[in-house]
Structure 1
Amino acid sequence: MLSLFLEPRLLPNRLLSLCSLFTILKNPSSFQFKSRAVRNMSSDSAQRMFQLKLDPLTGNSEWVVIEENQTPEEKTKEPLLATTSYLDMLNDSHRNRAFRQAIDKTITKPCHVLDIGAGTGLLSMMAARAMGLDDSSTSYCPKGKVTACESYLPMVKLMRKVLRANGMDKKVRVINKRSDELEVGIDMSSRADVLVSEILDSELLGEGLIPTLQHAHDNLLVENPQTVPYRATTYGQLVESPYLRKLHDLINNEAKALDGIYLVPNGVHSILQIKEQQFAMHCDAMKEEFKLLSEPFKVFDFEFWKRPESNRKTEVCIKATNDGTIHAIVSWWLLQLDNEGTIFYCTGPKWISDQSKSFFPGMGNWCDHWKQCIWFLPEKGMTVCKHQEVFVGARHTKTSISYRVKTSLEKEDGGHCDPSPGDNQIFLTPEQIAIYGDCNWRLSMFNVIKNALKQKVSPMCIVVDDSLFLPIAIASLSKSAHVIALFPGLREKGTHYLQAVASSNLYSMDRLEVLRTRNQQLTMEDTHQTKVGLFVGEPFYYGNENVLPWRNLRFWKERTMLDSVLSKDVLIVPCKGILRACAMSLPDFWRSHRCLQEIEGFDHSVANSTLGACGDLPADEEGPCLPFPIWQCGESKRLSDTVSIMEFDFLKPISSCAGTAQVEFTESGICHGFVLWIDWMMDSSTELSTGPDKRYWKQAVKLLNKPVAAGSQGLTLADCSSIEIKASFDPSSGDLNIKYVFF
């Protein structure tokens, strides 16, 4: 359930415009909050809260009003902010300590402090305490004041609870506005002397750091203010990585498939690709697969204490340290929190602290709210020799940083020069690009479709999801089949795409169509009075990548809704889904999602239920399941074999189902939770897994309230030999209810 606030001024420009709101209403699954970018939403106390309630099994949505006087049972069951990174951020002790030290060092006398994007109010409380405004202090500074600006109303409400719990509600003035809506003389009595703020994402600029600082320096801060942080510096490093190449080079990877299907034919390469941007990833998880081709190099400095420029360019000349192929640039940032340069926080990968020629202070523990970033070079990358000069050009806008690489002043990383596809370009996630370029996945899908078509003569086929591979495969393999692609997320873009690649795949568009409107379930008129003989999906729903695995059971719901147009002997691909699980040790992930207690002397326990904390909960409370790729969870270890909990039979209409499995621990360790996923039976002999050993899919992580010692540990915790997992599926909501007991 997505929560937004509607007002006469519409929604804030930092989150979405009127046009994008219309897009969300048409296709809500495409809307995803970016980390903590929800902070600068604009609202006021008189507004009503609206939540966009999404049915994961149909893709339909409706706005529901959440009134102030509703009971908890009447509100959403899911914690309002559980899918944001606030909890992980507040559990980052290294970050919290660095900010506290810098604030104590910077704020040494009564002054006016402005906190932009205040969140739970942690930095505001630190500033108030530094001036002696907290009740525990023996002195009081009447000239000191703290203004906390937070635009997201649910967070404002949570902040007020935290402030009250710490006796700070009278010491910090909370303003529920966007920072660029603040006015001195109305919202603030005077310009602020000190700015404390943390509106940084993994790329540094994605949460609007530059425009926020520009407006603050122009309108809200005194001349030459003090700031925490003081400066940020971005760094990069050239790497070779075959895995990273798989995430973007569909052109060359699909050439190895030899199945005769061309998702990116010559002349239209750019119609299907990833966005030209940096992608946040935990690079330490790929350390053994990386070949470092350069030393770390500095790219940009960003000064918080003065007004930043909107756009800058730079070029760095570096020497390759190894022979190899540059597939990507790994980037990170170093935060200097005080003006003297003694307090730092770094988001770099661990390997940089091991390099004798590079020293980056402020390296912390594993956390997910800040990762490293990956910038992909086009296609095969760029070959370099040891000691060869490489020129890295970088440019930043107000919200992003981009790169270009060349080995001489004349030669730049080129890529292809296709005609511009314009608005018809389709951007997929790197993981989906990798799936479409995976030879084993393609071969499995190709053979399943080929075998299915052998059983049908001139079939009517429906591709129910947003698969681009399946309609082309069917149309290429059968010259008599008629294919209807529903494309619930891609819509018109899907039509233009199929037209663009038709000649290269040797099919004509008179046998392949996309339904342009679908206001109700299909009828025989839509299928040209022909019963559907082949009903298929990957399943893959465009814009629906960051969801729990069972949300793709939308395929089952679609099959049920279209039952009236299916033939009695219809072939359904996949024919079955299997819910599987295994127990795991996930110390980093559990720590980052555990309940909050005291943070640098401030009680945050009142925030746990709202933020969706998973560990250290009361016995009668359960944390949510979180969609997450296990290989990106930090330290991990399997403690059991894989078990099957229950099956979903797609040959029959959707129905409630349940299952139980006993998970026997096969390894000793501390169990922090278990992982669930769905494996798809495409036919009776072909199974496609999305489990923890598969990098291209997200699994569901169910963290325990308390870690449990599995096997013989010799610890104070009670040893357990097994765990019983019970799961039940509710077809009316698409929810999976999970219970577990240790033995």
Structure 2
Amino acid sequence: MATSLVPRSLFRILYLFPTSPFTFNAQSFNPLKFSATRAMSSASTQRLFQLKFDPLTGNSEWVVIEEEVDGVSENTQKPILATTSYLDMLNDATRNRAFREAIDKTILKPCRVLDIGAGTGLLSMMAARAMDSAVGDSKGMVTACESYLPMVKLMKKVLRLNGMERKVKVINKRSDELQFDSDIISRADALVSEILDSELLGEGLIPTLQHAHDKLLVENPLTVPYKATIYGQLVESTYLWKLHDLYNNEAKACDAIHLVPEGMDPIICVKPQQYPLHCDAIAKEVKLLSEPFRVFEFDFWKRPESRAEKELHIKATDGGRVHAVVSWWMLQLDREGTVFYSTAPKWISPPFNIGAGDWCDHWKQCVWFIPDNGVSISKDEQVHICASHDETTFSYHLKAQIPRGEVLQHGDNAENFKLILPPERIAVYGDREWRLAMLTAITNALQGRSPSACMIADDSVFLTLMVACLSKQTLVLSLFPGIRDKGAKYLQAVSYANGISMDSIKVIEKRKSCLTVHDTFEKKVDLLISEPFYYGNDNALPWHNLRFWKERTMLDSVLSDDALIMPSKGILRACFMSLPDLWSSRRGLGTIEGFDHSVTNDTLGACGELPEGQEGPCLAFYIWQCGEYEELSEIFTVMEFDFSKPISPCSGKSQVKVSKAGICHGIALWIDWVMDSKNSIVISTGPDKRYWKQGVKLLANPVAVGARGSADGVECCSAVIEASFDPSTGELDVQHSFL
């Protein structure tokens, strides 16, 4: 298990050792982890600094936690590990079985085994067990290298539970920090490791293997996996096109706002990289334009190159427009080629999908967007693709496509003004229905009034431009808490093309809590608006966007007495759902390939089969990408948030009837934003809206509802849900019961 599965989320970790000088020592492929310059003995106490993020203010603070490194007290890192992919990965039975079979076929005699990124120690224990059953004169040894301290603590518990603590040596370091004599006594004969992400290289596979072959492994070592192959396929997909081509999509809008004016199409874009996506969810919307083709192959048993480039000649199997390259990888885990694992989408047939398993969230397919509106091709046409990789990423370029310039009109360099946004945000900005709703809401808000000052509370450049265009006399004050000066530079670049003067737009960089009318140019704010959209909040829970309510309260001193607030309120919606794939991926762990992992459930935030009275956390997911899912109840309202009033604790309770028989695995929760006081314009972020994540509260145990009844004959036909919102933490507590 690779340590860099910890997502870029709400927490970061820093370890400091008392009495030791501290210097920054970041894992090159995981900037969220930090370590100290020297280790302490296992009996000593480490000081753990946890950077906790407040979703309602955007601020963070260091929280000091004292822990015993080898203690058996309750692990306090649940908020961190519950949001990682460790649990999902350990529930991937296909993956676990493949590694176990390959290790049993590879480790045939006692030897020195190195496990890099050991996680819970599963692969280390597999290797130790394989050596126990092997015949040999020498004694074997397994060294488990894991840099992430919370996982080291958890691994030691797992090893102890399975009687493996004397057979696996645990080292809390990165592999490139290992020292001979103190950590290892000689080069390892075998490497068992899983440091792979959806793209294959993103967790530092190449530099890790390079260092291991240079410093830690014997020549021609045994390795599990043995090799990996990257495959790709050309596809046409309107959905994928909308995720990156804002220029051509907004051309169809009716609001005359030009987020990407003509000749300036690089100014708002996605980062040129591969994006992980559950492509099976869009299988019916994808037109395949080629057969699968092999891109790159990586041998784990020899030192990889840092960079490579190759030209591929692909025959088109159908005519259409190439919008993207969908890619996946396949592992050959043993030398003989009998054990495989694949991340291929379900539409792929052998031999390109050998070893494909059930739905899992820790590995997806990857999508590379072809710029602009793609490239038109004819059936049987030869398509020339340049594929390349560096140490951590892949890229693809169709040679038929002329690289676009990065110089804007008037000779301005695009890099000074460019806004890099997530694909889902690009799609929202290009969505005609969404833009029309915003246009209608703002037009209605301006009717009969001429605001002297309008404030944009969030990171919406769209709302800034729209208000400036619709009300020329209004001073528009943009706060841009996430994009900051990038937003100001962007507005400066596009203002002329939108027929507005930058004299009417001001970007305020001062903290909201410190604002006075002096900062608003002696004007009271008559109109405060937000989408809400906060840059960098992509993986947050829906109610974390109630940051708008918090900030509306902080801005009270600069608002006029009759200020119009938009959105006027938020409505917490919910629906009971069948989510078998998602629930199975987050369920509590038991025995994995013969090794008991039950001790990890609380730390990893298991959501299924929990002890009575214990519940799992709410997590953010795109429900439409969560494998099989089905709504079992009507959508219902839990509570409302009134933004006309200062933020305050609130709660709600609702009872709903089950509308369809099935197995209920959890509750989907989201917020619908009511943009006007008449409740006529509502922006929903529910499961049928693909560009927003929902909150998911998985049940401790699935419940049979409706006509089927449960195993004990009890039929649940309705349910009660209660929720309370705490503005001091920004968190939502959700309780439920079935009747």
Q: TM-score range by the shorter chain?
A: over 0.9
| Alignment check: 8 A CA contact 1:49 1:66 kept | yes
Which contiguous aligned blocks of 4+ residues in structure 1 show a shift greater than 4 angstroms? Answer: 38-43, 69-78, 137-142
Aligned to 1:21: none
Q: Which moved more, 1:470-479 or 1:73-82?
A: 73-82
Structure 2 residue 26 is the aligned partner of structure 1 residue 12: yes
Matched, 1:124 2:124: yes
In the alignment, structure 2 segments of 5+ residues that lack a partner are 1-9, 17-21
Mapped partners of 2:527, 2:407: distance in 1:
35
The reply to whether residue 336 of structure 1 matches residue 332 of structure 2 is yes
**Pick aligned residue for 2:706 from 704, 711, 714:** 711
Query: Pairwise mapping of residues 178-197 of structure 1 onto structure 2 (< 5 A)?
Result: 178-197=174-193
- Change beyond 3 A, Cα 1:143–1:649: same
Task: Specify the alignment match of 1:288 in structure 2.
Answer: 284
1:2 aligns with 2:1: no
Once the two structures are superposed, the pairs formed by residues 104-115 of structure 1 within 5 Å of their partners are: 104-115=104-115
Deviation at residue 340 of structure 1 after TM alignment: 0.7
Instruction: Please point out which of 366, 370, 393 is paired with 1:373.
Output: 366
Deviates more, 1:57-66 or 1:215-224: 57-66
Comparing 360-369 and 205-214, the one that deviates more: 360-369
C-alpha contact 1:183 1:220 (8 A) present in aligned 2: no
Q: Which residue of 1 aligns with 2:7?
A: none
Does the C-alpha gap of structure 1 residues 12 and 141 become closer, same or farther in structure 2, counting only changes over 3 Å? farther
Question: In 2, Cα distance between the equivalents of 1:714 and 1:269?
Answer: 56
Matches within 5 A, 1:393-412: 393-406=386-399, 411-412=400-401
Report the number of matched residues: 713
- Equivalent residue for 2:529, pick from 517, 525, 536: 536
Q: Does 2:86 correspond to 1:90?
A: no
Equivalent position SS for 1:103: helix
Q: Contact conserved, 1:375 with 1:403, CA < 8 A, in 2? A: yes
- Deviation string for 1:272-329 (max 9, x for gaps)? 1100000000000000000000000000000000000000011111111111110000
Cα gap change, 1:620/1:43 in structure 2, threshold over 3 Å: closer, same or farther? farther
CA distance in 2, matches of 1:523, 1:75: 44
Q: Equivalent of 1:690, from 685, 688, 692?
A: 685
Please list, as runs of the form range in 1=range in 2, the aligned pairs for 1:370-449 lying within 5 A after superposition. Answer: 370-406=363-399, 411-412=400-401, 414-415=403-404, 417-419=406-408, 420-449=413-442
Q: Residues of 1 paired with 2:620 and 2:723: CA distance? A: 17
Deviating more after overlay: 443-452 vs 480-489: 443-452
| 2:478 is equivalent to residue 479 of structure 1 | no
1:43 and 1:151 in contact (8 A); partners too:
no
| Structure 1 partner of 2:81 | 81
Indicate if the aligned counterparts of 1:681 and 1:687 stay in contact, CA closer than 8 A: yes
Over the matched positions of the two proteins, sequence identity in percent amounts to 61
Structure 2 residue matching 1:298: 3-state secondary structure: strand
| Displacement after TM superposition at 1:141 (Å) | 7.1
Give a deviation string over 1:521-570, Cα, whole Å, max 9, x none: 31111111211100000000000110100000000000001111111111
Aligned to 2:19: none
**Does structure 1 conserve the Cα–Cα contact (< 8 Å) formed by 2:375 and 2:401?**
no
**Which of 616, 636, 660 is matched with 1:623 structurally?**
616
Q: Is the 8 A contact 1:78 1:624 kept in 2?
A: no
Between 93-102 and 453-462, report the one with greater CA deviation: 453-462
CA distance in 2, matches of 1:145, 1:138: 13
SS of residue matched to 2:518 = coil
Is residue 641 of structure 2 the alignment partner of residue 642 of structure 1?
Answer: no
Q: Note if 1:700 corresponds to 2:709.
A: no
How far the C-alpha of 1:43 sits from its partner, in A, is 7.3
Q: Which residue of 1 aligns with 2:502?
A: 509
Judging changes above 3 Å, is the alpha-carbon distance between structure 1 residues 51 and 319 closer, same or farther for their aligned structure 2 residues? Answer: same
Q: Secondary structure at the match of 1:199?
A: coil
1:233 corresponds to: 229
Query: One-letter code of the match for 2:91?
Result: N
Q: Secondary structure at the match of 1:403?
A: strand
Q: Secondary structure at the match of 2:549?
A: helix
Give the counterpart letter for 1:48 in structure 2. Answer: R
Tell me which amino acid in the other structure corresponds to 1:321. T
Query: What is the rounded CA distance, in whole Å, between the counterparts of 1:174 and 1:141 in structure 2?
Result: 24
Match of 2:321 in 1: 325
1:675-694 deviations in whole A, cap 9, x for unaligned? 00000000021000000000
Q: Which residue of 2 aligns with 1:22?
A: none
- Which of these residues, 732, 736, 739, is aligned with residue 740 of structure 1? 736
Aligned partners of 1:154, 1:455: CA distance in 2, in Å? 59
1:270 offset after TM fit, Å? Answer: 1.3
Instruction: Name structure 1 gaps, 5 residues minimum.
Output: 18-32
Name the SS for the 2:80 alignment partner: coil
Instruction: Quote the residue 1:25 is aligned against.
Output: none
User: Which residue number corresponds to residue 54 of structure 1?
Assistant: 53
* Cα deviations by residue, 1:182-218 (Å, 9 ceiling, x for unpaired): 1233310100000000000000000000000000000
After superposition, give the CA deviation of every residue in 1:675-724 in whole Å (9 maximum; x if it has no partner). 00000000021000000000000000010011111111165253210110
State the TM-score, normalizing by the size of structure 2: 0.94
CA gap of 1:565–1:72, structure 2 versus 1, over 3 A, is farther
Query: Paired residue for 2:67?
Result: 68
What amino acid is aligned across from residue 468 of structure 1 in structure 2?
V
With 97-106 and 142-151 compared, the bigger mean Cα shift is at 142-151
- Shift of residue 454, structure 1, vs aligned partner: 1.9
Structure 2 Cα separation of the partners of residues 676 and 707 of structure 1: 17
| Aligned 8 A contact 1:44 1:153 in 2 | no
CA distance in 2, matches of 1:623, 1:72: 22
- Select which of 234, 241, 246 maps to 1:245: 241
What is the one-letter code of the residue matched to 2:574? A
Which structure 2 residues correspond to residues 509-658 of structure 1 after superposition, within 5 A?
509-518=502-511, 520-658=513-651
Whole-Å Cα distance in 2 between the matches of residues 165 and 72 of structure 1? 12
**Equivalent position amino acid for 1:174 in 2:** V
The structure 2 residue matched to 1:165, chosen from 143, 156, 161, is 161
Partners of 1:269 and 1:418 within 8 A in 2: no
Residue of structure 1 equivalent to 2:309 = 313
The offset of 1:414, in angstroms, is 3.8
Contact 1:5 1:47 in 2 (8 A): no
Amino acid at match of 1:692: P
Contact 1:283 1:349 in 2 (8 A): yes
**Could you say which residue in structure 2 is the equivalent of 1:150?**
146
Partners of 1:262 and 1:504 within 8 A in 2: yes
One-letter identity of the residue aligned with 1:68 = E
CA-CA distance at 1:733 after TM superposition: 1.1
**1:603/1:676 Cα in 2 relative to 1: closer, same or farther (>3 Å)?**
same
Tell me the equivalent position of 2:101: 101
Q: C-alpha displacement at 1:60, in angstroms?
A: 1.2
Show the counterpart of 2:293. Answer: 297
Tell me the amino acid that sits aligned with residue 249 of structure 2: N
Deviations 1:429-449 (A, max 9, x none): 100000000001001101111
Matched, 1:209 2:205: yes
Alignment of structure 1 residues 664-683 onto 2, 5 Å: 664-683=657-676
Q: Deviations over 1:2-39 (max 9, x none)?
A: 1412452313142566xxxxxxxxxxxxxxx6xxxx69
Inter-partner Cα distance in structure 2 for 1:714 and 1:63: 49
Distance between the aligned counterparts of 1:214 and 1:285, measured in 2?
36
Q: Distance in 2 between matches of 1:55 and 1:390?
A: 49
Q: Report the CA distance shift for 1:722/1:517 in structure 2 as closer, same or farther (over 3 A).
A: same
Deviations 1:70-123 (A, max 9, x none): 999998685330111000000000000000000000000010000000000000
Asked whether the 8 Å contact 2:227–2:331 carries over to 1, the reply is: yes
